């Protein structure tokens, strides 16, 4: 059974940093693209970033470029999102999402999400 | 960036009804379109990819169609568990973009 479990969310002050993690199990992690998608309170889904299976290809939404860094550790079956220079508008639930095999952003499985709150 | 526009933004329907949600892309995305269902407080669930292919385990009451710029999601025989918010997403090119969502409510 595919499982994606996010952690690392919490309350952080504007300008601060946070590192999210996603522990994957139930599939061969090192063969799939992975994504982060977020959802601000009461709002829709917003794609954040994608990373290829070997980390060779990485993509970011413009509003996160230069502040967020996606990475993965295939030996640990883990996906990460390092978030720096956080702003109030980054407050959201962050979902880890697996792309279907041979796809980059066609999601088939989602984690339960982790809440990030940016507030003073 | 490719803009995805869903209509309607909200929809009221009764148990047993058949409903259709539309999604329009601002440029040709072939069939690189997915649909997701989200219930309050829960993670999204993947329903359809490739505009019309059902994800594993998704009942055939859900169907998708379209290509190019115009797409639709149809749900037949609505049941209480189908009342949720539905999102379309294009994965033709980066940045990946979602529609604003369609909230399906019980009449």
pLDDT, position B74 = 98
Q: How confident is the model at residue A101 (pLDDT cuts 50, 70, 90)?
A: confident
Q: How far apart are CA B5 and CA A45, in angstroms?
A: 13
pLDDT digits (tens, 9 = 90+) for A46-83: 999 999 999 999 999 999 999 999 999 999 999 999 99
Residue A102 has pLDDT above 90, yes or no: no
Q: How far apart are CA A23 and CA B57, in angstroms?
A: 23
Alpha carbon of B16: minimum distance to chain A alpha carbons (Å): 27
Q: What percent of chain B has pLDDT over 90?
A: 99
Among the partner residues B43, B91, B94, nearest to A112 by beta-carbon distance = B43
pLDDT digits (tens, 9 = 90+) for B3-49: 999 999 999 999 999 999 999 999 999 999 999 999 999 999 999 99
C-alpha distance from residue B6 to each of A73, B44, B46 (Å)? 37, 17, 17
Token pair, residue B34, equals 């997915």
Best residue of B94, B99, B101, B102 to probe chain A, by most A CBs closer than 10 Å: B94
Mean pLDDT of chain B: 97
Residue A92 has pLDDT above 90, yes or no: yes
Interchain CB distance below 8 Å, A104 and B46: no
Query: Are A17 and A81 contacting, i.e. CB atoms less than 8 angstroms apart?
Result: no
Q: Does A44 touch chain B (CB under 8 A)?
A: yes
Q: How confident is the model at residue B52 (pLDDT cuts 50, 70, 90)?
A: very high
**What is the average per-residue pLDDT within A8-33?**
97
Among the partner residues A103, A104, A110, nearest to B44 by beta-carbon distance = A110
Q: Where are the beta strands (DSSP E) in chain B?
A: 4-7, 10-13, 19-25, 33-38, 45-49, 53-54, 62-67, 70-75, 85-90, 97-98, 102-106
Q: Does B100 touch chain A (CB under 8 A)?
A: yes
**What is the average per-residue pLDDT within A12-25?**
98
Q: Does B37 touch chain A (CB under 8 A)?
A: no
Residues of A in contact with B101 (CB under 8 A): 44-45
Among the partner residues B49, B55, B98, nearest to A46 by beta-carbon distance = B98
Residues 58-97 of A with CB under 8 A from B: 59, 61-62, 95
């Amino acid at each position: 059974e595919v499982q994606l479990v996010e952690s690392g969310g919490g309350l952080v002050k504007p300008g601060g940093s946070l590192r999210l993690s996603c522990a994957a199990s139930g599939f061969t992690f090192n063969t799939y693209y992975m994504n982060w998608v977020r959802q601000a309170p009461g709002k829709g889904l917003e794609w954040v970033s994608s990373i290829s299976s070997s980390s060779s290809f990485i993509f970011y939404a413009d509003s996160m470029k230069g502040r967020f860094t996606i990475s993965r550790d295939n030996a640990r079956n883990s996906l990460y999102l390092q978030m720096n220079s956080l702003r109030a508008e980054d407050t959201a639930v962050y979902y880890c999402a697996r792309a279907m095999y041979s796809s980059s952003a066609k999601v088939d499985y989602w984690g339960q999400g982790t809440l990030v709150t940016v507030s003073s | 960036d490719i803009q995805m526009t869903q209509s309607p933004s909200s929809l009221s329907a009764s148990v047993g009804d058949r409903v259709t949600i539309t999604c329009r892309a601002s440029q040709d995305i072939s069939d690189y379109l997915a649909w997701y269902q989200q219930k309050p407080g829960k993670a999204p669930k993947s329903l359809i990819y490739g505009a019309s292919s059902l994800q594993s385990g998704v009942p055939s009451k859900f169907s998708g169609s379209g290509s190019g710029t115009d797409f639709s999601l149809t749900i037949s025989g609505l049941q209480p568990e189908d009342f949720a918010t539905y999102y379309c997403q294009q994965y033709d090119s980066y940045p990946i973009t979602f529609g604003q969502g369609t909230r399906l409510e019980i009449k």
